[in-house]
Structure 1
Amino acid sequence: MSPPPVWSRRNRLPGDDGNPPLAPGSQVQAGKHSVAAGGDVGAVITGDSNAITHVYVVPSAAQSGSDEPVTRPVSACHPLDLEVHHAIRLAPTEAILPVYVPREHDAHLQRIVDAARGGRSQLCVLVGESSTGKTRACWEAIQVLAAEEWRLWHPFDPTRADAALAGLASVGPRTVVWLNEAQHYLAHAQVGEQIAAALRTLLADTRRAPILVLGTLWPVHRDQLTSLPSSGEDPHAQSRPLLAGRQVHVPDAFTDGDLVAVRSAARLDGRLAQALAGAADRRITQFLAGVPALLERYEHAGPAARAVLNAAVDARRLGCGVDLPVSFLEEAATGYLPGSVFESLDDDWLQQALVYAERPVHGDARLLQRARRAPGNTPVDSCFRLADYMEQHGRRTRRDLCPPASFWNAALHHLPGPADVFALATAAEARWRLRYSRLLAERARALSRQEPALPVEGQSYASDWPDESDIWPADHPTCRALADLAFAAAETDDYEQAATLALEAASCCQPDALADIALQHERAGLTAEASDLAHHAAANGAAYCLGRLAMMREEADLYEHAEHYARAAAEYGLTGTLAELAVRREAAGNKERALDLWEVAAEFGHPEALANIARLQHEAYDTDGAARTAREALDRGDAHPFHRHRIEPLWEKLWPHGIEPDGSPSPSTPTA
């Protein structure tokens, strides 16, 4: 019988009360000469995000009735089974994976693994874009555990979320919990927060230590899990403290020093030599994963194959799971083809399209991969998985497009899971396709009645967790001390020393301290220094500092400066300050400047920007332009409640019953 789960509360350092926690989305990256990497300020403590001081026992929903998770010795694991990307292969005799070249993030990850080997449970999530080497880095890091008889658990059957929720309460000591693409666990609409809570319980349970939890995330998913809600319920109240201070950034490109190591390793592996010659912008791992060939194959796909691929991309970006039934892809794809083109296709057009998409390039990289099922699990319909780089590429290139009617009808007819169907119902509502939203929601409820174990539509769960305000973020005490010294220096007006200390603290895990010092410089009239420090804070994970600096300049009537820093914050994905300035300009009677700012906010993806542009166009009697902008907003999925800058969206006036996928008004009487 497994021990009862526990929850831990870490003591704060003396004098720490009231200091802000790490910013949501902060990233940990130890610089070469930083304290976290062995600097000379005090005793360096690295990777110890889970030190226990007080332990409280609470019940866990995941514990009762859970089965022992199926683990394997680390020495018996295969990298491809753990979803390490296939690499290009120049010859059949080459090793499956190319020679590995460690980088800076590997050193930080290895310190975390060493802490786990020393008996302290650890969690680390590598954050980077697709095909940057996150999963491979995790694979390399755990090889040292093979000789120490550690085991590995990769929860994925019957689904990732279900397996994790059922098994986390039973994970035993010396186990690696492998959460590749952690958004499938933590961002799950129904049980993501339960999984995050169970992970926190696992990490805090000294009787099951040591545990090593490794995960990977794209930045877009990290931002989703760590961003504070503007208002209303907090959908990620458990995930945010779980991830705080436990992220390692994996860069897209190799540094000069990295390339020196690659050139040396290229003497042993021709694939590295080819990557050096062919990779654009030093993106070595992307080249090795076959990304250029995948993109080329996608661009040269015939009409049918392109239609199938676009349907798969749209399904994933609108919230469907990784396994896409072939029957869904078949019906959905028909609407992506002009009628004359579809009529001219061969009878076996779908088979031809799938053969094209499945054909490997540069080894085993494929646009679509046939999903493998666990033994004994006989699917009703075969499924395919989209290459994750193509998903990421499609999220960018198809962001402004609404899928055709065939896509929504295919979802109604062929998607078997209520979670997928409800995700598309939500996506349809966000695009003001109200008729399809209603039909899909009804279908999701019907499917959920067939699968009562899977809740649908925002079902909440009772929680006995203590107040989150009692939880101190996991960080490095030495860096916390550096931040305190920086604050003390600022209090004595020694701003130069304060900046030096805060910069050092930010290079490890205290970007908030640097943000605070930057704003203190601004209040002291050291505006040039404040600007420089704010940009450094943003680069280290505290981009909100730029927005606050913008508002300080705004209050000082430095309007151009304010707009400059608001735009700088938007480049980090924080568009709220641009929106606030647009509202202020309009309130001051400067609608022309407000429109300009909303247009900049729209470029950076602010979800209310296009709606406000449409409103201002309508008020200026540009009726046709306003309608076009409103449709553009809806195609992007911007029809949601406006929390911060509340207006009545124009589309509610123009199309009160919603619109169809082609943009035409929906009838007043709902039809099936």
Structure 2
Amino acid sequence: MRWWVALFGPLFFVLMFTIGPAVLNIVKLPGPTWVTTAVAGAGGVLLLVATPLMQTRLDALTQQSKLQVERVRRLEAALEPLVGSDRDLPLVREVVDRALLGIHPAIPLPPSANPELSVELPTYVPRDVDADLHTALRRASVSGGFVLLVGPAASGKTRCAFEAINAVLSNWRLCMPATAERLTALVDSGADLRHTVVWLNETQDFLGTGRLAVETVRRLLADHARPVVLVGTIWPSEYTRLSTSSTADDGQDLNRDSREILKLAHRFSIKTFSYAEQARARDLAQTDPRLQEAVDGGGDAACLTEVVAAVPELIHRWEQADDPFGAAVVSAGVDARLCGHPEPLPLGLLEALAIFHLTGAQRAAAREDWFTSALHWACEPVRGSVAPLTPEAAQIGHLDGYRVTDVLVQHVQRVTRPIANVPEPQWELLIAEARPEACLHIGATAYQAGLHRLAERAWRRAAEAGDINAMTGLGVVLARQEEYEQARSWLERAAEAGDINAMAGLGIVLAGQGEDEQARPWLERAAEAGDTRAITGLGLVLAGQGEDEQARPWLERAAEAGDTRAMTGLGLVLVRQGEDEQARPWLERAAEAGEPEVMAELGALLVRQGEREQARPWLERAAEAGEPQVMAVLGLVLAGRREYEQARPWLERAAEAGEPKVMTVLGLVLAGQGEREQARPWLERAAEAGEPKAMAVLGLVLAGQGEYEQARPWLERAAEAGDTQAMSGLGGMLAGQGEDEQARPWLERAAEAGDAHAAGLLRTSSAEHEGA
């Protein structure tokens, strides 16, 4: 409703009662004079009441108007980088600029070629996935969706996606955000993106620490009445990296958002040309000389798209360079990309890194203008417009930096060296030279490569510049290095700024230090926001505090989402609540994930349920992981089945870990097999550690060997500790030595506790006494 429409009613009402009496006086309507007076009085009263009400309404509408203006301002700011001055997104069919779309430049078109052929784009060779891809896009056009093409560099995936949206969604609008931040700002602005294709070429550049959040993508896809279609492309190696859990010791998963976003995608694999695609390429080559060159010189299916994109020439130019300084600049760009620096790459960074790739002699021979000359060589096309490096600028006359062709980056990943082999001094220089916002992504790349010290340095630079995501990452890596005080400080700063990941991480760190009460509010806030790690952490904290009823729903949510720690926690809570049958499937699922402690819990549960055969394999797997108590339980299970030979090694390994109860069990098994000499040292060690049962068995073993003086103190100590077997043994030994008065109280206590041997000795003693 427009503001003036909303105010019209109140204004008219007040106006009528304000000027009503004057009008009545002027027109001299017939009737008693009291009517005019009454109207005037009523108008005054109503004016007093209505004026503040109208002012309140006016203030509310003014505030609403300000909010509307702010919303429009945010919307315009978000759209500005995407649509320019036209203030509207282009249609899919209107965008044909190869570079804008991210399609690799092709080898040049010969002058004698058909003038109707596109200079920028070779004739499209239909791919085998086209039909399924078009079907997926049609379905997504109804209620929204995410379509992702996975394939190596120069495999034709971006061209395939472009042709598909032109075939199916040509009348939709096309949004091409340059960064994750711009896309997030656009979604936050509330822009109406119905019937819009969001183009995410090189999707890996939008994912990772501090980039696109899964909540943003879900908001884009949530409104089925206003469908939005995301279309992306990604390398296979990047898909694997970003979809794999990257979990720190505190449970923080730096790939959580990336992995959840990729799960939303309908994936299509773009591989090497099939036989059918090769046949189609040969047919089309008759009209497009660029395809003819690819067919003639490609050699095999893998090379067709690469030849069209001049990939062999690019690699040859770099690896067989006639200018070592130019090759050094290209190598610098490739290394920067490998280490996670976003593009474009600043000029100063390229120069600093290039020096690493020059020999001492080359540095000594370098001219004053070596870098300018090297940069010119690196940007010189190998064919057509295909070059190793390409300058980039957002504004005319202002160079932002350079892009290195992803063909060479992927070539290095696939053929030469992995990221971990980039020399550490090169990493350190990159971190020192890069801008703080770039250090966020460098830190994430280093962390995922296992280079935690370098990740700490990169994230510290970004965090000290105020980057919230870097603070969270820095807290994670510091916690992993057990620098908990520093970790806590950075996580607190990020959490207080509203970062959900930091809240979860802080809660987990605090809980790990035993500060459950301090951890709980942070975990609650993050859990209520839907963070799975926090949901698990909160459930475990509550369970640890004995609040099983409050813990159970949180653990159920996380367990149902696939969190194995939550499955374990939920299983244990259910066991404590006596719901063994409900606990069993959760413990089984968690045990199948390979956690020894869970296998042990499951094995113990099965033993309690009398299913020792089913318990045995779980206990064996857990025992093989080296847990002494599990070895002991397994030894007992085997001993209970009279498999003493199999039980003995497990019990011996467990006893060697120094647990008195396990030593006692081993002593019992050995003594039961008649190996009293072997049993004795284990029983002595356990008895000296204060284990009553060990004292009792040791006393009985010594008594059986006739060593009554050594046996007596052990039996007395065990009997005083309440061990029935020791009471019976001590009473029997004393009776045998003729000390009936001392023996009788112990035998009576043992008999009262149900010891049949003690009761029999008492009866015998009474009969003898009566006979005497």
Distance (whole Å) between structure 1 residues aligned to residue 299 and residue 211 of structure 2: 40
| Alignment check: 8 A CA contact 1:307 1:334 kept | yes
Decide which of 314, 333, 347 is 1:326's aligned counterpart.
347
Q: Say whether 1:155 aligns with 2:177.
A: yes
Distance (whole Å) between structure 1 residues aligned to residue 200 and residue 449 of structure 2: 32
Q: Which residue of 2 aligns with 1:255?
A: 274
Decide which of 283, 286, 294 is 2:306's aligned counterpart.
286
Decide which of 415, 425, 435 is 2:434's aligned counterpart.
415
Letter in 2 for 1:393: H
Q: Which residue of 2 aligns with 1:224?
A: 241
Return the offset for 1:237. 3.6
Which stretch shifts more, 294-303 or 428-437? 428-437
Decide which of 98, 108, 123 is 1:89's aligned counterpart.
108
Distance (whole Å) between structure 2 residues aligned to residue 550 and residue 98 of structure 1: 52
Specify the SS of the correspondent of 1:135. Answer: helix
| Alignment check: 8 A CA contact 1:335 1:404 kept | no
Which stretch shifts more, 400-409 or 217-226? 400-409
Return the offset for 1:226. 2.1
Distance (whole Å) between structure 1 residues aligned to residue 244 and residue 172 of structure 2: 34
Deviations 1:121-142 (A, max 9, x none): 1210001111111110111012
Distance (whole Å) between structure 2 residues aligned to residue 455 and residue 251 of structure 1: 35
455 and 468 in structure 1: CA distance in 2 versus 1, 3 angstrom threshold: closer
Q: Which residue of 1 aligns with 2:143?
A: 120
Distance (whole Å) between structure 2 residues aligned to residue 221 and residue 433 of structure 1: 18
| Alignment check: 8 A CA contact 2:149 2:267 kept | yes
Specify the SS of the correspondent of 1:123. Answer: strand
Q: Matches of residues 101-120 of structure 1 in structure 2 within 5 Å?
A: 101-117=125-141, 119-120=142-143
336 and 303 in structure 1: CA distance in 2 versus 1, 3 angstrom threshold: same
Specify the SS of the correspondent of 1:208. Answer: coil
Distance (whole Å) between structure 2 residues aligned to residue 146 and residue 237 of structure 1: 31
Return the offset for 1:387. 0.2
Q: Which residue of 1 aligns with 2:572?
A: none
| Alignment check: 8 A CA contact 1:176 1:214 kept | yes
Letter in 2 for 1:341: Q
Specify the SS of the correspondent of 1:104. Answer: coil
Deviations 1:413-472 (A, max 9, x none): x322x23224445666788988866654443334x24xx687555257336665879xxx
| Alignment check: 8 A CA contact 2:143 2:225 kept | no
Q: Matches of residues 446-465 of structure 1 in structure 2 within 5 Å?
A: 446=464, 448-449=465-466, 456-458=471-473, 461-462=499-500
Decide which of 204, 216, 219 is 1:201's aligned counterpart.
219
Decide which of 197, 201, 215 is 1:176's aligned counterpart.
197
Specify the SS of the correspondent of 2:421. Answer: coil
Distance (whole Å) between structure 1 residues aligned to residue 219 and residue 297 of structure 2: 46
Distance (whole Å) between structure 1 residues aligned to residue 129 and residue 247 of structure 2: 32
The sequence identity of aligned pairs, in percent, is 29
Distance (whole Å) between structure 1 residues aligned to residue 368 and residue 192 of structure 2: 51
Q: Matches of residues 465-504 of structure 1 in structure 2 within 5 Å?
A: none
Return the offset for 1:341. 1.4
Q: Which residue of 2 aligns with 1:606?
A: none
Q: Matches of residues 556-595 of structure 1 in structure 2 within 5 Å?
A: none
> Where does the alignment leave 5 or more consecutive residues of structure 1 unmatched?
2-61, 470-547, 552-580, 588-672
| Alignment check: 8 A CA contact 2:314 2:382 kept | yes
550 and 116 in structure 1: CA distance in 2 versus 1, 3 angstrom threshold: closer
428 and 175 in structure 1: CA distance in 2 versus 1, 3 angstrom threshold: closer
Return the offset for 1:207. 3.4
89 and 439 in structure 1: CA distance in 2 versus 1, 3 angstrom threshold: same
Letter in 2 for 1:216: T
Specify the SS of the correspondent of 1:274. Answer: helix
| Alignment check: 8 A CA contact 2:153 2:235 kept | yes
443 and 121 in structure 1: CA distance in 2 versus 1, 3 angstrom threshold: closer
Q: TM-score, normalised by structure 1?
A: 0.54
Specify the SS of the correspondent of 1:100. Answer: coil
Letter in 1 for 2:166: Q
Decide which of 367, 370, 387 is 2:405's aligned counterpart.
387
Return the offset for 1:279. 1.4
Return the offset for 1:214. 0.3
Q: Which has the higher helix share?
A: 2
Which stretch shifts more, 65-74 or 295-304? 65-74
Higher relative contact order (Cα pairs below 8 Å, separated by 6+ residues): 1
Q: Which residue of 2 aligns with 1:526?
A: none
> Where does the alignment leave 5 or more consecutive residues of structure 2 unmatched?
2-70, 84-88, 474-493, 501-525, 534-591, 596-620, 628-772
Q: Say whether 1:369 aligns with 2:390.
A: yes
Q: Matches of residues 129-148 of structure 1 in structure 2 within 5 Å?
A: 129-144=152-167
| Alignment check: 8 A CA contact 1:105 1:249 kept | yes
| Alignment check: 8 A CA contact 1:86 1:365 kept | yes
Specify the SS of the correspondent of 2:328. Answer: helix
Q: TM-score, normalised by structure 2?
A: 0.47
Report the count of equivalent residues: 403
